[in-house]
Amino acid sequence: MFKTRLFSGIILVILALILIILGGDILLASLLVVSLMGMFELYRIFQIEKSAVGAAGYVAVIVFYADLWQSILSDPMLLVMGLLVCLMFVYVFTYPKYKTEQILAAFFGVFYVAVMLSCIYQTRILEKGAYIVWLIFLCSWGCDTCAYCVGVLIGKHKMSPKLSPKKSVEGAVGGVIGSMLLTLLYVCIFKEQMQAGAEEIVILPLISGIGALISMVGDLAASAVKRNYNLKDYGKLIPGHGGILDRFDSVIFTAPVIYYLTVYLMK
């Protein structure tokens, strides 16, 4: 199992490197595919992955990504309201085929998976985004690795004993500090390419620290859904890791955090 997990992890890192370095339409299209697969995994829990309400969610995501590509919507809120109206239309005229929680899950899935993951692309197209986008992974996967190592070595106090018994407060602190140090090292290495000044050298590790803290919420949130429905993994797509949501649960939360903090703190 360890070898399988390690091999899959290496392949994921290589793919991430290629897609993010290429950026542009290739990255956007790849995120669309990943988002649709992640939504399929989430919708499967609520048994709507092949239903009309599920289809409405998939179409909404395609429209959303098309808007990121070509700005086809005059107001993004049109998509939100249009999706809600469509879901309510199906809910009412097929009643009692769908339960209320299924409709809510179809609506929620669009934003939880697809919209939040799209922030990887939106970060990539920012000024200096070719470098800043890596903070998303440094403070999610980096935090996860550092938290695990610190937790194994000195972890004593359980952070969320019922939800994730193996996670410790010490591990969480180690994950946040580790992410900040990794980001500081990263920024120092690419200082000249990024044209980073003293202010950015301070701000970027802080942004990464906040992102790392939020990434743990994303990890635990995904775990909470699985616990509620007695699932071990969201899927089996990635050998040794589970499904898309199992591997990208923390990235889903860190991507918008990094994007918006960068936009507002690095003007």
The full set of domain ranges for the chain reads: 21-117, 129-267
- Residue 132 CA to residue 204 CA, distance in Å, equals 8
Q: What pTM value is reported for the model?
A: 0.92
C-alpha 68: how far from chain center: 17
Report in angstroms the alpha-carbon separations of 123 from 92, 144, 162, 166: 39, 21, 35, 32
- 156 phi and psi angles, rounded to 5 deg: -130, -40
Confirm if 79 and 211 have CB atoms less than 8 A apart.
no
List, for the chain, all residue ranges whose pLDDT scores fall below the cut of 50: none
Q: Distance between CA 156 and CA 160 in Å, rounded? A: 12
CA–CA dist 204, 51 (Å, integer): 43
Note the pLDDT of residue 201.
Answer: 87
**pLDDT tens digit sequence for 152-180:** 778 777 877 777 777 888 888 888 898 99
65 neighbors 26 (Cβ within 8 angstroms): no
Do residues 39 and 61 make contact, with C-beta atoms less than 8 angstroms apart?
yes
Q: How many CA atoms lie within 13 A of 264 on its CB side?
A: 7
What does the pLDDT look like over 226-256, one tens digit per residue? 888 888 888 777 766 678 898 888 899 999 9
pLDDT value of residue 240:
64
pLDDT on residue 260: 95
